[in-house]
Chain A
């Protein structure tokens, strides 16, 4: 697995990702294969995928459209079953969906019949937490995503960015072991996207959490990640693992930095190589 060469990585002095990451492995995806078959036809979406995310690490999967990124997240969430291999979270084998793996989806998935507050409270209610505790948690996460003033709004009254903020609060309120994010900002305009990335970094900074984030936006991947898994498609495989040692806290300014550009060039090289 080729990362950047060591000289480049170490130039910043410290390795800030170490501040966040414990050494314990939180997510362990082992030789996953996934084949969709319907009747005669079968599509191999994923082939021999292995990846790990350490506790409190921000891992990002970047890859072109259709390479199987969503499938990998759905497998981790337990919403679909792999054809081969296994996935472990905190050493527990995944066998169906559960509240220990929160997810923010590519599409907007707020429950339209619940207001913002009740959406965030949804998982807490399923877990039958006492009302006072639920209220406290909901208020905390609404404040974290800056939507306390919209607690009583219906989802249809929110912008796309606000809906995804609620979705993030809703997933985090459950205090999952790992947060799975499937191109959560993919449908947003670039301005909103930037502020959402910043918001996510802030929230993640306050609430240590293992994150597996999927995107096809290379800038987004580098800005957010401790570690990037570059995927290429049909069937989906991990082509490279890249550690990002840019110091945190990060802002969108880092797109000018040499580290950033080096990594970007490397990823572009892999993805471009795939195309030809």
Chain B
């Protein structure tokens, strides 16, 4: 298929396409979305009290950046996501690898983990408020509980998937049990762990809004809620758009990290 025309390549499963086309298509989808959005708002098809025009969202953004309030709210949310995510990952990654590799660790943790991971974190929010109050600690706790048990299960699966052959090879080269953990299991899990972080980071962003809707005095979820009370639908849109954008940025970050740290795996 190397000499097929561009059209044919676009229609061939898994055939590669030129970089410029990839970029154009990626921008294209947004042009379509913005065009449709403009169409239904500027034409008056949908009332601006429900759906703001692109320009009104943009001017809101400019004015909120101008008075500095937007940065404060972005940072407030990002901080919560970051702390909750890092805290969870730092505990879940080693514990998950342990769980996937040591039968006793699995036997001990599995019953609790499988119970906890089916409970919606939202059910705990009232409890957290009662226990921890409404400070940032409470929101970080929501993120932590929202992703921790999922992370644990995913990492345990990843480490269980490490080839026994690699472990055996390592032993025959003189590795001790400790070496197998640090020099086989950890590096072998790295690509999977980064992929897992990419996925759960997305979940962390969804939980931050839940946390802020209930108890916060800053953050993107919080300004959304406040805007609802004042019928400022443009602010709600801005907040949604920003969360999406931040998600996109962190996603790219993990993509890059994956490429940099695990170029050996492709």
Besides the known contacts A98-B172, A105-B169, A113-B262, 10 further A-B residue pairs in the complex with CB atoms under 8 A apart: A109-B163, A113-B188, A113-B190, A122-B183, A123-B173, A126-B173, A126-B174, A126-B179, A154-B263, A154-B264
Task: List 29 contacting pairs A-B, 8 Å CB cutoff, sorted by A.
Answer: A74-B168, A77-B171, A77-B172, A79-B172, A97-B168, A97-B171, A97-B172, A98-B172, A98-B174, A99-B173, A105-B165, A109-B165, A109-B166, A111-B170, A112-B188, A112-B264, A112-B265, A113-B188, A113-B264, A113-B265, A122-B183, A123-B174, A126-B173, A126-B175, A127-B174, A154-B263, A154-B264, A156-B265, A174-B173
Residues from chain B with Cβ under 8 Å of A105 in the complex: 165, 168-169
- Taking the complex as formed, is A101 at the interface, i.e. its CB lies under 8 A from any CB of chain B? yes
**A105-B168, A111-B166, A111-B184 as given contacts; A156 in contact with B173, CB under 8 Å:** no
Q: Does A170 contact B (CB under 8 A)?
A: yes
- CB of A171 within 8 Å of the partner chain: yes
Which residue in A102, A107, A112, A127 is a CB contact (below 8 Å) of B172? A102
Inter-chain contacts of B241 with A (CB < 8 A): none
**What's the Cα separation between A118 and B160 when bound, in Å?**
24
Complex alpha-carbon distance, A250 and B265, angstroms? 40
Instruction: Quote the shortest CB–CB distance from A209 to chain B (angstroms).
Output: 15
**Residues of A in contact with B (beta carbons under 8 Å apart):** 74, 77-79, 97-99, 101-103, 105, 107, 109, 111-115, 122-123, 126-127, 154-156, 167, 170-171, 174, 180
> Which of A74, A107, A171 has a CB less than 8 Å from the CB of B173?
A171
The 7 tightest CB contacts between A and B, nearest first, are A99-B174, A123-B173, A97-B171, A109-B169, A103-B172, A113-B187, A126-B174
- How far apart sit A122 and B170, CA to CA, in the bound complex (Å)? 8
Instruction: Assess whether B266 is interfacial by the CB under 8 Å rule.
Output: yes
Q: How far is the CB of B220 from chain A (nearest CB, A)?
A: 38
Count of CB-CB pairs between chains A and B under 8 Å: 76
CB closest residue in chain B, given A107: B165
Among candidates A79, A98, A101, A111, residue contacting B187 with C-beta atoms closer than 8 Å: A111
Q: How far is the CA of A79 from the CA of B169 in the complex (A)?
A: 10
**0/1 string, B254-266, CB within 8 A of A gives 1:** 0000000011111
- Shortest distance in angstroms between A157's beta carbon and chain B's nearest beta carbon? 9
Q: Give the total of B residues in contact with A, Cβ under 8 Å.
A: 23
* Contact partners of B184 in chain A: CB under 8 A: 111
**In the complex, what residues of A have CB within 8 A of residue B165's CB?**
105, 107, 109
Q: Within the assembled complex, what's the spacing in Å between the Cα atoms of A77 and B173?
A: 10
On whether the beta carbons of B166 and A174 are closer than 8 Å, the reply is: no
Q: Indicate if the CB atoms of B168 and A109 lie closer than 8 Å.
A: yes
The residue of chain B having its C-beta at the shortest distance from the C-beta of A122 within the complex is B173
A127, chain B: closest CB distance, angstroms: 6
Taking the nearest CB of chain A, how far is it from the CB of B116, in angstroms?
31
Residues of chain A within 8 A (CB-CB) of B166 are 109, 111
Q: Which residue of A lies closest to B176 (CB)?
A: A126
Q: How many angstroms from the CA of A98 to the CA of B172 in the assembled complex?
A: 5
In the complex, residue of chain B having the shortest beta-carbon distance to the beta carbon of A102: B172
Question: Of residues B163, B171, B183, B187, which shows the largest number of chain A Cβ atoms within 10 Å of its Cβ?
Answer: B171
Q: How far is the CB of A79 from chain B (nearest CB, A)?
A: 5
- Kindly provide the distance from the CB of A4 to the nearest chain B CB, expressed in whole angstroms: 34
Chain A residues with CB under 8 Å of B187's CB are: 111, 113
Known interface pairs A109-B166, A111-B187, A113-B187; A102-B173 also in contact (CB < 8 Å): yes
Give every chain B residue within 8 A of A102 (Cβ-Cβ).
172-173
* CB proximity to A under 8 Å, residues B227-266: 262-266
Expressed in whole angstroms, the Cα–Cα distance for A5 and B176 within the complex equals 47
Chain A residues near B169: list those with CB within 8 A. 103, 105, 109, 111, 167
Using a CB-CB cutoff of 8 Å, which residues 166-200 of chain B contact chain A?
166, 168-176, 179, 183-184, 187-188, 190
Contacts of A167 in B (CB 8 A): 169
Q: How far is the CB of B181 from chain A (nearest CB, A)?
A: 13
Contact indicator A174/B174 (Cβ below 8 Å): yes
Q: For B263, list chain A residues within 8 Å (CB).
A: 154
Given A107-B165, A111-B166: A101 touches B262 (CB 8 Å cut-off): no
